Amino acid sequence: MFEVIGERINTSRKLVQEAVANRNAEYIIEDVRQQQTAGAAFIDVNAGARIGHEEDDMRWLLDTIQPMVDVPLSLDSPDPAILEMAFAMVDKTPVINSISLEKDRFDAMMPFLTGKECKVIALCMDDAGMPESAEDIFKRGKLLINELNKIDIPTPNIYVDPLVQPISTDSNKGTMVLEAVRQIKKEFPDVHITGGLSNISYGLPQRHIINRTFVTLMMDAGMDSAIIDPLDKKIMASIQTADMLLGHDQFCMEYLKGVRAGTIES
């Protein structure tokens, strides 16, 4: 089944930043509760927006969330020291968000990840910048998988992010990433595909319908995870319905539960 990584606990969001700055635990707890109820498989936690406060903010967020969260966390920071501290605090196997092929980040993250029992989001980014073709994405994804395998991160624990780019600037960006996902899944059937989807609609009107349509195309290509807002009921309904149509929902049970719960409606 498709795994949603709930993206809402991020201090780049104004209300979250205010809640963290004021140590408003009630706001954070309620947001996490709602994300879990909506079907999030992981809760992403990013405290990086308040410069100079990331360590204290991440520690407070984890102290606040851990006692009530029922799903694993996605620990989100560019700083391996923050991730090391956060990793020591969690009691469920986390997702580490993220590693890339950019030399500075790769060289810093590989020692941190070595020996860790975790899942890893691997961005198809290197020092040349964003990928320009499906082959670029595939080659970068393959290299990341192979390098992570060398430090005993098994392929089923790797979540490759192919880096969705705006179709408003290049009409081939959608088909490019779809083809790359198919290639990656063909060679590495046990790897996961994840990422943010909303970049596809950047600069265009009615972005929500674009995002909802695109996620179903990506799921058909092999995407089985996304970093999204699980409180967006329409995209969650699209994901549940596509899961059923792609044969991932035995006897349509999850779809029927959604209909009965009122989360899937016409």
What is the pairing mode between strands 192-193 and 95-99?
Answer: unpaired
Tell me the torsion sign for CA atoms 59, 27, 197, 130.
negative
Domains of the chain: which residue ranges? Answer: 3-235, 236-266
* pLDDT tens sequence across 87-129: 999 999 999 999 999 999 999 999 999 999 999 999 999 999 9
Provide the residue count of the chain.
Answer: 266
Reported as a pLDDT band with limits 50, 70 and 90, residue 266 is confident
The reported pLDDT for the residue numbered 254 is 94
List CB contacts of 37: < 8 A, sequence separation 6 or more. none
Say how many CA atoms lie within 13 Å of 133 toward its Cβ: 3
Domain formed by 3-235, architecture? Alpha-Beta Barrel (3.20)
* pLDDT tens sequence across 15-43: 999 999 999 999 999 999 999 999 999 99
The reported pLDDT for the residue numbered 228 is 97
Classify burial at 170, counting beta carbons within 10 Å of its beta carbon; exposed 0-12, middle 13-18, buried 19 or more: exposed
Cα gap 26→100, rounded to integer Å: 35
Q: Mean pLDDT, to the nearest integer, of 185-206?
A: 97
Q: Do 137 and 162 contact (CB within 8 A), yes or no? A: yes
- DSSP at 126: B
- pTM (2 decimals)? 0.97
Q: Do 163 and 137 contact (CB within 8 A), yes or no? A: yes
Q: Mean pLDDT, to the nearest integer, of 239-258?
A: 96
Tell me the torsion sign for CA atoms 109, 114, 120, 121.
positive
Reported as a pLDDT band with limits 50, 70 and 90, residue 138 is very high
Cα gap 124→117, rounded to integer Å: 22
Q: Mean pLDDT, to the nearest integer, of 190-212?
A: 97
The reported pLDDT for the residue numbered 99 is 98
Percentage of residues in the chain having pLDDT higher than 70? 100
